[in-house]
């Protein structure tokens, strides 16, 4: 089964730390088969406040909390009801050149 890349749909209110994020997912059936990992999203920069009016968006200082959350859309094609669960991972780059943190943020 070919998985599609998660689609970045915009910012929502949240509290992610400054940096860059990417997302990927896997599908599975409990105690059964798993898919491979989906392609990852492009890098998404996390601004300090994406809701600020004006033409420019201000960056946040390293390690500081932003008011950002991320809204994604995942299109699942040709599932035929085989996989009924999803694992969603966030890859978070706090600083250029450092190893990112990988977090399982959804398992349902």
Q: Is residue 58 part of a domain?
A: no
pLDDT at 101: 95
Nearest to 1 by CA among 100, 80, 65, 95: 80
- The answer on pLDDT for 31 being more than 90 is no
Is 68 exposed, middle or buried (CB count within 10 Å of its CB: 0-12, 13-18, 19+)? buried
Q: Is residue 12 part of a domain?
A: no
Q: For the segment 48-82, what is each residue's pLDDT rounded down to a tens digit?
A: 777 665 566 677 777 788 888 999 999 987 766 68
Nearest to 69 by CA among 96, 50, 43: 50
pLDDT at 83: 87
Mean pLDDT of the chain: 88
Structural domain count, the chain: 1
Q: Is residue 81 part of a domain?
A: yes
Q: Is residue 55 part of a domain?
A: no
Structural domain for 25, as ranges: 17-41+75-108
Q: Is residue 87 part of a domain?
A: yes
């Amino acid at each position: 089964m070919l998985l599609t890349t998660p689609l970045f749909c915009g910012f929502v209110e949240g509290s992610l730390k400054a940096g860059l994020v990417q997302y990927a997912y896997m599908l599975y059936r409990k105690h059964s088969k798993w898919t491979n990992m989906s392609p990852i999203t492009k890098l998404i920069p996390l601004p300090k406040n994406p809701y600020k009016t004006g033409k420019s968006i201000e960056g946040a200082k390293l390690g500081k909390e932003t008011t950002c959350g991320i809204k994604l859309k995942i299109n699942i094609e040709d599932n035929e009801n085989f996989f009924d669960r999803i694992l969603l991972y966030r890859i978070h780059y706090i600083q250029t050149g450092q190893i990112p943190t990988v977090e399982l943020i959804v398992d349902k």
